[in-house]
């Protein structure tokens, strides 16, 4: 088989099994997409959500939810963290990020979550359970009496076969990620996470996947609508399952001649690997072999997700909603857990996207570009991101303006001002749901994300130039969308007036924007465009990031600390979409309950108006007619 055929074959595999490519028979490890027999759930559309780790045990919580009225919530723990820490009293574990509803009582905590899910379902809210994949295998493994405390105590003494089925393996130490010398990978101490060392379950270990399946089944029985999976880390595991899996991957990807020529590997079966890189290494340290190690790591995450959640989870609940908690700290996104996945596998089977961008990236060009990338790469799926807690008005506006789901996270129930602001903003989005529900990108231009270059190891140079072009477009207030270059087909590009790439910067000047909509606005204002699901309206979103700073500090709690400085006099000069005429333009903001009709002037195929004063967010609804 030609090497190019082999690469294409690897990208299209679905589950483990025997496949034919031409006349060649091959056995392929599971690297793929929806598993056999697992029907995809109905399409999901939402724009208002909440995510909470801490406050759901507070008696005031449901009242807060009633005021905000989200459509979807991420609340409660159902994965490794619940079973490892749910039986541990607060007096022992101290202050951790994972409060159990009933202190030290697994059964009562589970019943609390079941009742919470029922209350939220009565409000027609979809409930996503947090599900720890590999973290929080916490406890002591070198005690004279054997592994104990935390997860090990649960596994050895508290695992209830009537509730969870038989144990996949007798010794829990067989489940752990390991270094090349066989020693378990461990975090000796991490304050706020566990009173004991933290070990990790191996994603490629079939027994660990069986443990996770038992947790999935029990969580579905407790009434969750789906899972937000987190801590999907391979940590460079060198256990026998990972090493064997990587060798199988290389066998399928390269011929013996190519292995010899590219990596100096004479006999792959006997070759001794010293590492299995699980993250991108900058500064010219990403060798070809390390790039393949990273691809294997990303595929390992995808393989576990497909087997445990898509194949097994949806066999129990066909409409199970699924998402993964990913990371993409800016500006170069080196830690993205699906960085090297091909387009055919990228977020395949997920109903919405979740990324953590790190603190205080809101308003920066890198975060805005990431939002537009997620929208384009996900094929208009719902998505949300988490940055810091401050700038709360701006971050919710930024998500709303770029097709994301505005989010509330780590809320402060004692902050009456915050509660009022959240109720106002979410009420605004609910009242104008036509702007947000299943809306689509409607930029006049498109910037191509160089994902294909990233896949072949040219991350730093490709993304640095991409960021520069994107920042220029944002600062010049050009209406543009983002698409990864590996899915930017001619039919997708045909609707755009301009196509920009990461090499476009030298040719960008005022003349290159001829025929486009233009805006006169401060540099602190970002402008984007969307089209409503029902059609006939072109929505132009304005986000203002300028505010009175009170001294930024890293915070993990949502607060009312957000003081936007009003912006006045933004001028819009729109190029009317071909084949349409503008009937009227209406202006809406969270601070004004009713739409305001704007005065417009028409000159040939252009429409001009002045935006009224606004704080963090305003939308011009441009009504069109044939």
* Per-residue model confidence as pLDDT tens digits over 535-588: 899 999 999 988 776 544 444 444 555 678 899 999 999 999 999 999 999 999
pLDDT given for residue 25 in this prediction: 30
Domain-located, residue 506: yes
Q: Dump strand ranges (E) for 183-284.
A: 198-199, 226-230
Contact 613, 389 (CB under 8 A): no
- With CA atoms as reference, report the closest residue to 561 among 432, 369, 379, 412: 412
Q: What pLDDT, on the 0 to 100 scale, is given for residue 18?
A: 28
Residue 99 pLDDT grade (very low, low, confident, very high; cuts 50, 70, 90) = low
pLDDT band at 10 (very low <50, low <70, confident <90, very high): very low
Tokens (6 digits) for 439:
């809306």
Residue with tokens 């290159």: 512
CA distance 537 to 586: 10
Average pLDDT over residues 470-479: 96
- Which residues are registered as beta bridge partners of 407? 49
Worst-scoring range by mean pLDDT, 142-151, 278-287, 388-397, 475-484?
388-397
Angstrom distances, CA of residue 190 to CA of 95, 199, 237? 12, 11, 20
pLDDT at position 562, please? 64
Sort strands 440-441 and 525-531 into parallel, antiparallel or unpaired: antiparallel
Distance in angstroms (rounded) separating the CA atoms of residues 256 and 83: 45
pLDDT at 479 > cutoff 70:
yes
Residue 24's pLDDT is: 28
Are 154 and 87 within 8 A, CB to CB?
yes
Cβ atoms within 10 Å of 11's Cβ, excluding its own = 14
Q: Which residue has the higher pLDDT, 331 or 78?
A: 78
Close Cβ partners of 472 (under 8 Å, ≥ 6 residues apart): 505, 508
Could you tell me which residues are beta bridge partners of residue 396? none
- On the question of pLDDT at 110 being above 80, the answer is yes
Helix ranges (H only) for 443-593 are 451-455, 459-475, 490-493
Residue 423 in any domain: the answer is no
**Cβ count near 45 (within 10 Å):** 18
Q: What percent of the chain has pLDDT over 70?
A: 88
Q: What is the predicted pLDDT for the residue at 394?
A: 83
For the cut 60, the answer to whether the pLDDT of residue 604 exceeds it is yes
Examine residue 479 and state whether it is found in any structural domain, yes or no. Answer: yes
- Name the E strands within 105-210: 126-132, 137-138, 198-199
| Residues 6+ away with beta carbon under 8 Å from 24 | 1
Whole-number Cα distances in Å, 62 to 46, 59, 68, 262, 329: 20, 7, 10, 59, 33
Q: 504 lies in a domain?
A: yes
Q: How confident is the model at residue 330 (pLDDT cuts 50, 70, 90)?
A: low
The fraction of the chain above a pLDDT of 90, given in percent, is: 72
pLDDT at 2: 38
What is the Cα–Cα distance from 238 to 494, expressed in whole angstroms? Answer: 47
pLDDT above 60 for 37? no
Residue 85 CA to residue 106 CA, distance in Å, equals 9
Is the pLDDT at 344 greater than 70? The verdict is: yes
In a domain, 472, yes or no: yes
pLDDT at 231 over 80: yes
Number of structural domains (the chain) is: 1
- Residue 338, φ and ψ in degrees, nearest 5: -125, 35
Non-local (6+) Cβ contacts of 250 within 8 A are 259, 265, 268, 292
Predicted confidence at residue 195, as pLDDT, reads 87
Residue 153 clears pLDDT 80, i.e. is over it:
yes
Mean pLDDT for all residues in the chain: 88
Mean pLDDT for the stretch of residues 9-38? 31
Nearest CA among 531, 625, 540, 537 for reference residue 589:
540
As a whole number, mean pLDDT of residues 241-261 equals 97
Helix (H, G, I), strand (E, B) or coil at 553: coil
601-603 and 606-610 strand pairing: antiparallel
User: For residue 356, which phi and psi values (nearest 5 degrees)?
Assistant: -95, 125
Instruction: Decide: 32 and 9 in contact? Cβ < 8 Å.
Output: no
Taking a C-beta distance cutoff of 8 angstroms, is the pair 245, 25 a contact?
no
Asked if the structure places residue 508 within a domain, the reply is yes
Looking at the predicted structure, is the pLDDT value of residue 4 above 90?
no
CB burial of 461-481 (b: ≥16 within 10 Å; e: otherwise) equals ebbebbbebbbbbbebbbbbb
Residue 488: inside a domain:
yes
Whether 28 is covered by a domain: the verdict is no
Query: Which pLDDT score is estimated for 416?
Result: 85
Q: Give me the domain span that covers residue 479.
A: 445-513
Can you tell me the distance from the alpha carbon of 485 to that of 378, in angstroms, rounded to the nearest whole number? 13
What order do you get walking across the sheet with 383-386 strand by strand? Answer: 383-386, 353-356, 321-327, 226-230, 126-132, 72-77, 48-52, 406-409
């Amino acid at each position: 088989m030609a090497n190019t055929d082999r690469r294409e074959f690897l990208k299209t595999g679905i589950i483990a099994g025997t496949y034919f490519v031409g006349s060649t028979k091959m056995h392929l490890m599971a690297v793929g997409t929806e598993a056999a027999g697992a029907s995809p759930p109905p399409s999901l559309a939402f724009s208002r959500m909440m995510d909470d780790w801490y406050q759901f045990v507070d008696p005031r919580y449901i009242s807060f939810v009633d005021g905000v009225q989200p459509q979807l919530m991420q609340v409660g723990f159902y994965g490794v963290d619940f079973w490892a820490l749910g039986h541990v009293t607060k007096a022992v574990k101290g202050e951790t990020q994972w409060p159990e509803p009933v202190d030290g009582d697994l059964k009562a905590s589970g019943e609390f979550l079941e009742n919470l899910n029922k209350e939220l379902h009565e409000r027609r809210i979809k409930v996503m359970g947090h599900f720890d994949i590999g973290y929080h295998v916490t406890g002591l493994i070198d005690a004279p009496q054997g592994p104990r405390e935390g997860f090990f105590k649960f596994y050895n003494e508290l695992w209830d076969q009537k509730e969870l089925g038989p144990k996949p393996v007798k010794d829990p130490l067989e489940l752990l990620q390991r270094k090349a010398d066989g020693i378990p990978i461990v975090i000796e101490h991490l304050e706020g996470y566990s009173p004991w060392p933290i070990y990790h379950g191996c994603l490629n270990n079939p027994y660990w996947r069986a443990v996770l399946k038992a947790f999935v089944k029990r969580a579905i029985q407790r009434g969750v609508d789906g899972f937000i999976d987190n801590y999907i880390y391979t940590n460079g595991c060198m256990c026998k399952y990972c090493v064997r899996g990587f060798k199988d991957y290389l066998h399928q990807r390269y011929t013996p001649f190519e292995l010899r020529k590219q990596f100096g590997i004479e006999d792959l079966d006997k070759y001794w690997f010293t590492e299995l890189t699980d993250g991108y290494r900058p500064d010219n340290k990403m060798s070809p072999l390390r790039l393949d190690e990273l691809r294997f790591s990303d595929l390992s995450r995808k393989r576990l997700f497909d087997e445990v959640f898509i194949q097994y989870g949806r066999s129990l609940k066909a409409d199970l909603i699924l998402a993964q908690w990913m990371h993409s700290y800016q500006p170069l996104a080196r830690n993205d857990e699906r960085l090297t996945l091909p387009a055919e596998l990228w977020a395949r089977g997920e109903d919405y996207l979740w990324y953590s961008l790190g603190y205080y990236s809101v308003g920066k060009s890198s975060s805005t570009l990431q939002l537009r990338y997620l929208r384009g790469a996900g094929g208009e799926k719902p998505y949300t991101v988490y940055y810091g807690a401050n700038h709360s008005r701006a971050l919710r506006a930024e998500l709303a303006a770029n097709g994301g789901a505005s989010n509330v996270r780590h809320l402060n129930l004692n902050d009456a001002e915050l509660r009022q602001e959240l109720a106002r903003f979410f009420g605004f989005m609910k009242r104008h749901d036509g702007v947000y529900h299943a809306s689509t990108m409607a930029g006049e231009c498109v910037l191509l994300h160089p994902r294909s270059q990233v896949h072949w190891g040219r991350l730093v140079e490709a993304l640095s130039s991409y960021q520069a072009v994107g920042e220029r477009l944002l600062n010049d207030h050009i209406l543009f969308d983002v698409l990864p270059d590996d899915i930017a087909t001619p039919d997708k590009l045909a609707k755009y007036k301009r196509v920009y790439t990461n090499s476009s910067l030298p040719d960008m000047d005022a003349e290159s924007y001829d025929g486009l909509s233009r805006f006169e606005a401060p540099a602190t204002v970002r402008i984007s465009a969307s089209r409503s699901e029902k059609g006939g309206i072109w929505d132009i979103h304005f986000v203002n990031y300028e505010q009175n700073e009170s001294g930024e500090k890293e915070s993990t709690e949502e607060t009312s600390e957000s003081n936007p400085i009003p912006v006045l006099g933004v001028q819009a000069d729109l190029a009317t979409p071909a084949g349409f005429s503008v009937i009227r333009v209406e202006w809406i903001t969270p601070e004004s309950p009713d739409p305001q009709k704007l005065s417009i002037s028409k000159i040939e195929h252009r429409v001009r108006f002045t935006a009224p004063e606004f704080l963090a967010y305003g939308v011009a609804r441009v009504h069109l007619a044939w």
